[in-house]
């Protein structure tokens, strides 16, 4: 019986995984330039971590989490993490990082899990690269994170993404807007979808996030939260925008963008791409100044974002198809003596960082050359009884087709120079 993968859980195969590695490498470089430290958090957390932090009325908590009972503690419910921010904040609080240094700039990467319908660029097991800054409430760090993302997209060669920006206010000004919005929605309740009518009274801002055409049309002329910001939130938001303009980072305001999680406040943002269709967010995040305290820590402001790896890979794949890496050298051996020389020689080169491939069974010279060509090897080194008797090997450049003899004694240094690698 043929066993297939679970729907929504995809393999990342050679030819594609190189794009992932490229993105991860550049992320480490850019995050390092902004002085972020890596943190690695568990895939499984207590369910209450997400129900407390994300909000009981969010789609994630209501219907998308993979939750199960802990067999070692029957009363305990565990959940595969649906996002990374809550776990990072939990680690910050539990380890008391704030006791040593209250301001922490942390980044993470890895799989997340949501039980939703798989679609373009979205899987049930999906991957994110995220960053969180804990302990800073100033507008400069909000702008700095957006600059980091702009730099990162430029570094990987991603084009055609748009920054959308909004402010969700704070505990002082958002309640006023909430009541205005709720009154507006009550007058149009019959035009809203069943889901929005159900949760409208508890969290009216979520209605603006609904993707149902009827809800989009019914709320088209909804009041804008930007008209209700208090003086402090207005100043904060104006400063973020001013810093972006000074840094030549283009953006557009989107007062309908409320994000899907309850912990957000003040600055919120999304980077989107028109090439992705309806689910067009490549990266998203914002400020969450109350989350650390909600999870048992001291009052600590926070701001962060997450990048969707699958969508990023999809966009880069549209631009350029990357191939599996090519070995630097293919060792062709003929005869038992050739094999006995080639096997330890390959190991010596690998110890020096050279990517080497060779056959394990006796095959003709022609067959081995075809194999080297298929693997796109840069160089081929041919060794047989005749070459060993003369103390030389034949080195062939597979791109230029030029070949020459090299002495077996000290061949490693000669090869390293040929490959332009440190000797």
pLDDT class for 322, splitting at 50, 70, 90? low
**Poorest-pLDDT segment among 116-125, 350-359, 391-400:** 116-125
Mean of pLDDT values over 251-258 = 86
Q: Which of 260, 289, 308 is nearest to 89 (CA)?
A: 289
Distance CA 386, CA 64 (A): 67
Mean of pLDDT values over 6-19 = 85
pLDDT tens readout for residues 53-83: 665 545 555 567 888 887 766 668 888 899 8
**59 or 375, greater pLDDT:** 375
Q: Which of 261, 356, 264, 254 is nearest to 303 (CA)?
A: 264
Cβ-in-10-Å burial (0-12, 13-18, 19+) of 116 comes to: middle
pLDDT class for 211, splitting at 50, 70, 90? confident
DSSP state of 212: -
Predicted TM-score (pTM) of this structure: 0.78
Arithmetic mean of pLDDT over the chain? 85
Beta strands in 5-66 (DSSP E): 37-38, 44-46
- Find all residues with CB under 8 Å of 213, minimum gap 6, and list them: none
pLDDT higher than threshold 80 for residue 225: yes
Distance CA 265, CA 286 (A): 7
Could you say which of 3.40.50.880, 3.40.50.2000, 2.60.40.10, 3.30.930.10 is the CATH number of the domain covering 17-170+229-319? 3.30.930.10
10 Å Cβ neighbour count for 108?
A: 21
Please say whether the beta carbons of 36 and 106 come within 8 A. yes
pLDDT tens readout for residues 165-199: 999 888 888 888 888 888 888 887 778 888 888 77
Cβ-in-10-Å burial (0-12, 13-18, 19+) of 182 comes to: middle
Strand-pairing partners, residue 163, are 271
Mean of pLDDT values over 218-243 = 90
| Res 274: pLDDT | 75
pLDDT class for 321, splitting at 50, 70, 90? very low
**Poorest-pLDDT segment among 48-57, 69-78, 346-355, 392-401:** 48-57
**98 or 211, greater pLDDT:** 98
Distance CA 357, CA 371 (A): 10
Beta strands in 32-152 (DSSP E): 37-38, 44-46, 67-69, 77-80, 104-113, 125-134
Distance CA 356, CA 349 (A): 7
Cβ-in-10-Å burial (0-12, 13-18, 19+) of 307 comes to: buried
Please say whether the beta carbons of 210 and 193 come within 8 A. yes
Give percent of the chain above pLDDT 70. Answer: 91
| Res 141: pLDDT | 93
Structure tokens that stand for 108 in this block: 């993470």
Could you tell me where in the chain the CATH 3.40.50.800 domains are found? 329-418
- Helix, strand, coil proportions of the chain in percent (round to 5)? 40, 20, 35
DSSP state of 222: P
| Res 73: pLDDT | 64
Q: Which of 238, 224, 120 is nearest to 174 (CA)?
A: 224
Mean of pLDDT values over 91-105 = 91
Give percent of the chain above pLDDT 90. Answer: 29
Could you tell me where in the chain the CATH 3.30.930.10 domains are found? 17-170+229-319
Domain spanning 329-418: which CATH class is it, in words? alpha beta
Structure tokens that stand for 323 in this block: 């191939």
- Dihedral sign for Cα atoms in the order 59, 65, 68, 73: negative
| Res 201: pLDDT | 77
pLDDT tens readout for residues 121-166: 578 889 999 999 999 999 999 999 999 999 999 998 888 888 999 9
Please say whether the beta carbons of 269 and 281 come within 8 A. no
Most confident of 53-62, 245-254, 389-398, 414-423: 245-254
């Amino acid at each position: 019986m043929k066993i297939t993968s679970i729907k929504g859980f995809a393999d990342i195969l050679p030819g594609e995984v190189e794009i992932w590695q490229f993105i991860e490498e550049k992320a480490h470089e850019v995050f390092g330039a902004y002085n972020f430290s890596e943190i690695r958090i568990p895939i499984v957390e207590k369910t209450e971590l997400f129900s407390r932090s994300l909000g009981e009325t969010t789609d994630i908590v209501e219907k998308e989490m993979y939750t199960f009972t802990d067999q070692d503690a029957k009363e305990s419910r565990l959940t595969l993490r649906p996002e990374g921010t809550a776990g990072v904040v939990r680690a910050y609080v539990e380890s008391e990082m704030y006791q040593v240094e209250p301001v922490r700039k942390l980044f993470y990467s890895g799989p997340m899990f949501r039980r939703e319908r798989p679609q373009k660029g979205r899987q049930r097991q999906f991957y994110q690269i995220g960053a969180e800054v804990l302990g800073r409430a100033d507008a400069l760090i909000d702008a700095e994170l957006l600059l980091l993302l702009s730099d990162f997209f430029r570094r990987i060669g991603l084009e055609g993404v748009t920054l959308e920006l909004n402010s969700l206010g704070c505990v002082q000004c958002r309640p006023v807007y909430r009541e205005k919005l709720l009154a507006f929605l009550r007058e149009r309740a019959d035009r809203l979808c069943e889901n929005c009518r159900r949760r409208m009274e508890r969290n009216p801002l979520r209605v603006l996030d609904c993707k149902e055409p009827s809800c989009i049309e019914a709320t088209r002329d909804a009041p804008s939260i930007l008209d209700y910001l208090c003086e402090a939130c207005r100043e904060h938001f104006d400063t973020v925008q001013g810093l972006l303009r000074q840094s030549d980072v283009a953006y557009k305001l989107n007062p309908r963008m409320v994000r899907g999680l309850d912990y957000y406040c003040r600055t919120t943002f999304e980077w989107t791409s028109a090439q992705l269709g309806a689910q067009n967010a490549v990266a998203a995040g914002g400020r969450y100044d109350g989350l650390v305290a909600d999870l048992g820590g001291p009052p600590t402001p926070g701001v962060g974002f997450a990048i969707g790896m699958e969508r990023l890979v999809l966009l880069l794949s549209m631009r350029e198809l990357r191939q599996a890496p090519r070995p630097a050298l293919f060792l062709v051996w003929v005869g038992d003596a050739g094999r006995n020389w080639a096997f330890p020689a390959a190991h010596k080169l690998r110890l020096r960082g050279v990517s080497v491939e060779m056959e394990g069974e006796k095959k003709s010279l022609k067959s081995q050359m075809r194999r080297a060509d298929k693997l796109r090897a840069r160089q081929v080194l041919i060794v047989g009884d005749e070459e060993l008797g003369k103390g030389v090997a034949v080195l062939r450049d597979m791109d230029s087709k030029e070949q020459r003899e090299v002495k077996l004694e000290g061949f490693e240094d000669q090869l390293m120079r040929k490959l332009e690698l440190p000797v």
